[in-house]
Structure 1
Amino acid sequence: MPGLFDFFSYKGLHLRNRIMMSSMCQYQAENKDGNPTDWHFVHYTSRAIGGIGLIFLEMTNIELRGRISDQCLTFHSKDQVPHYKRIVDECHKYGSKIGIQLAHAGRKSVIDGNDIVGPGDDPFSEDSPIPRALEIEEIKEIIGKYGTSASLAVQAGFDTIEIHGAHGYLLHQFMSPASNHRNDQYGSYHVFPVEVIREIRSNIPKDMPLILRISAVEYGKNGYDFNHMLNFIPYFLEAGVDMLDVSTGGNDPVRPKVYPAYQTRYAQEIKEKFNIPVISVGRLENPDVAESIIRDGRADLVAIGRGLLREPYWAKEAAVKLNQEVKLPGVYDLGFSV
């Protein structure tokens, strides 16, 4: 079996290793239009210099109304392409591939005065704003905006796209019986995400992998179990998804007990059942843990989040521990010499 530092290729995506930087909100965007700033340029480029195979931009929203906060990114206009292309080109310069995670916060937006929307009028928590139920025509418009953002991402040079269908954001809200009580066609839990997948797939190259992040299980009241999600995966694959990024929870304030690889078993079962590439995430920053997940065939990529907030050169640190060779640009390797 391959290891953490072996190449990974799927369709047109070719990675120098199997380490993925997980999407993590930075809350540093220009609040007028959601553009990335110098913060993002430095943040993502430094991880490319650090040797990461696949870098994912943070949750990037398809419209201004879809942001969690007014410091969150959006990608909805052609005028924004140069802002993103600058980051993409610089990450490519240092050998990393880079993806963008497209999303809509739905009822989890906390922007004062925002038109907060969702499948219905159920708030995320007792302290959250009450959303407005989307009309069918509005849902169709949002689906089209996913396609627009995907097309813009292609123009900016991104190597892959991930649809955020987890952690309680809009797609996840439609997938869950805890938040979707509609009586129309969008009351069928898979319909909205399937239409979004098809729209994005039609706006990106055939050889560009399309990734879907899912919450395999929920933890709160009326939350779904793993079988609920397993039932929908065939629909997602038929619509055009190539890989699944497997997380859990987020549609309720209830949180699970967290420990290294606590979500990996869900990724492994999906990989075995559907014979597709999967990404595992969830406290995987211990190099021995990350390596074992790949070596054991439990996932194809490991996504590192907080570990890469603490250490931009996590890949080099892991390589040293695992007796692997990773060459950093410039004089950075001197910092790891004995």
Structure 2
Amino acid sequence: MTAKLFEPLVIRGVELRNRIWVSPMCQYACLDHDGMPHDWHLVNAGTYAAGGAGLVMMEATGVSPEARITSECAGLWNDAQRDRWARVVDFVHSQGAAAGIQLAHSGRKGSDYRGFTAEAGKTKPESEGGWTTVAPSAVACVGMDVPVELDRAGLDKVVDDFGAAARRAVEAGFDLIEIHAAHGYLLHQFLSPLSNRRTDEYGGSLENRARLLLEIVDRVREVVPESMPLFVRFSGTDWVAEGGWTPEETARVCSWAVDRGADFFDISSGGLVRDIFISVSPGYQVPLTELVREQGRVQAAAVGKITTPAQAEAILQEGRADAVFLGRELTRDPHFALRAAKELGVEIDYVPLPFRAATWA
């Protein structure tokens, strides 16, 4: 039996050398508050690429200043940021990995304090570098300020900002783009009835709640090459008993997104509602990916509590996902892919020369 983890995957014009992918993880490292990636981003992404990952997905990257989660988050709303990202992309490519970028808008969860700090989860006031947030409806996230409901001009700006950021991503040399529609951020806020109370064409029915996302898929597809894959990350469920976003709705919107030019889906969960219990166990989100693949008839990756090569391989061998995204486990072991090849008995030709004395080489 061959290891599916190490089977290349071709999506449009991009071949990914394996199916062990770096989940987009916020770094909160732009300490000048200008959205500019710097040496931390180069070293962090480069470490994963040298460690054998097939795809290195950059963190949630704001398509405008107000799209960031925190003032320390990275951005792609100007050419200077594009040029800094190009340096990161070039090194990732030099190690044989593909480089992706997750384009994002935080919506009502923006203007937060820096992640992993005591203040996180509260709105930072403008006097400290925060901003007024926007959302589908004037409904606050618990613990944060009430956002401003987006009007027609605001909706158009969001679509334009995603398009402009996608164009810069192409210019920076990224291999693929992921649209962030998960974890309670703006596009997820539109999708879920819990946060979308609109009565116009962007609220109510599933078709209406998905409208903004699909408009963004259209715009991004217009500005990127035909050969460039387009991913979308969804939260597969809000983890509430009634009235929230569901796996079945996720599958339907995935199929609509494919019709508009999306190629691949990254299925996570939660993030919209705070203070709820989620039973987190090994591979707890894999069933969501499985359902979305089957009902939406799409390709999708699993993410969440995937921690061993054997577990990751079993998910693929059982046909439950087409690839795996790893976050915390890759943070603990950036060389996970090299170790996985050793444990699964797979010979690979991309172990960096300085690493070949290691026991897994």
Rounded to whole Å, the distance in 2 between the matches of 1:13 and 1:44 is 19
Q: In the alignment, does 2:171 pair up with 1:155?
A: yes
Q: Cα RMSD over matched residues?
A: 1.5
SS at match of 1:208: coil
More moved, 164-173 vs 323-332:
323-332
Q: Tell me the secondary structure at the aligned position of residue 74 of structure 1.
A: coil
Name 1:166's counterpart in structure 2: 182
- Between the aligned partners of 1:2 and 1:243, the Cα distance in structure 2 is 21
1:176 to 192, 195, 203: 192
**C-alpha displacement of 1:15:** 1.2
In the alignment, the residues of structure 2 paired with residue 275 and residue 194 of structure 1 have an alpha-carbon distance, to the nearest angstrom, of: 18
**Cα distance in 1, alignment partners of residues 284 and 360 from structure 2:** 34
One-letter amino acid of the counterpart of residue 315, structure 2? I
Question: Residue 268 of structure 2 aligns with which residue?
Answer: 247
Q: Which of 123, 135, 143 in structure 1 is aligned with 2:159?
A: 143
Helix, strand or coil at the partner of 1:73: coil
Equivalent positions of 1:295-314 (< 5 A) are 295-314=317-336
Alpha-carbon offset, residue 255 of structure 1:
4.5
Separation in 1, partners of 2:296, 2:3: 20
Which amino acid is 2:309 matched to?
A: P
- Matched residue, 1:112: 125
Match for residue 209 of structure 1 among 229, 232, 253: 229
Letter in 2 for 1:334: A
For 1:197, which of 213, 217, 227 is the aligned residue? 217
Letter in 1 for 2:243: N
Aligned to 1:334: 357
How far residue 30 of structure 1 moved from its aligned partner, in angstroms, is: 4.2
Instruction: Indicate conservation of the 8 Å contact 1:214/1:245, yes or no.
Output: yes
Q: For residues 237 and 81 of structure 1, what CA distance do their matches in structure 2 show? A: 27
Deviation readout 1:252-301 (Å, 9 max, x if unpaired): 11241111111111212222233322111011121111001111221111
Aligned to 2:82: 81
Q: Per the alignment, do residues 198 and 337 of structure 1 end up closer, same or farther by CA in structure 2, a change over 3 Å counting?
A: closer
Contact 2:166/2:224 (CA < 8 Å) preserved in 1? yes
Aligned pairs for 1:58-97 within 5 A: 58-97=59-98
Match of residue 186, structure 1, among 193, 202, 217: 202
Counterpart of 1:270? 292
The alignment status of 1:98 with 2:121, answered yes or no, reads: no
Residue 79 of structure 1 deviates from its aligned partner by 2.3
Kindly indicate whether the alpha-carbon contact (under 8 Å) linking 2:22 and 2:330 is maintained by their aligned counterparts in 1.
yes
Change (3 A) 1:299 1:104: same
Bigger Cα displacement from structure 2, 267-276 vs 207-216:
267-276
Q: Which residue identity is paired with 1:120?
A: S
Q: Which amino acid letter does the alignment assign opposite residue 222 of structure 1?
A: G
Calculate the TM-score normalised by the size of structure 1.
0.96
Which letter does structure 1 place at the counterpart of 2:322?
A: D
Tell me if the contact between 1:261 and 1:283 (Cα under 8 Å) persists in the aligned partners.
yes
TM-score, with length taken from structure 2: 0.90
Q: Does 1:11 align with 2:12?
A: yes
**Paired residue for 1:224?**
245
1:79-117 deviations in whole A, cap 9, x for unaligned? 222100000000000100010000000000124220211
Moved over 3 A (4+): none
Aligned to 2:341: 319
- Distance in 2 (CA, whole Å) between partners of 1:185 and 1:59 is 27
Q: Give CA deviations for 1:169-211 in whole Å, capped at 9, x if unaligned.
A: 0000000000000111111211111111111111101111110
- Please name the residue that 1:293 is paired with: 315
Matches within 5 A, 1:116-127: 116-125=133-142, 127=143
Instruction: Report the equivalent of 1:132.
Output: 148
Where in structure 2 are there 5+ consecutive unaligned residues? 113-123
Report the 3-state secondary structure (helix = DSSP H, G, I; strand = E; otherwise coil) of the residue aligned with 2:223.
Answer: coil
SS in 1 for 2:245: coil
Query: Is the 8 Å Cα contact of residues 31 and 72 (structure 1) preserved in structure 2?
Result: no
Q: How many residues align?
A: 337
Following the alignment from structure 1 to structure 2, what is the Cα–Cα distance between the partners of residues 258 and 65? Answer: 32
The AA in structure 1 aligned to 2:353 is G
Q: Where does residue 21 of structure 1 map in the other structure?
A: 22
Query: Mean Cα displacement is larger for which, 137-146 or 230-239?
Result: 230-239
Q: What residue ranges of structure 1 are gaps of 5+ in the alignment?
A: none
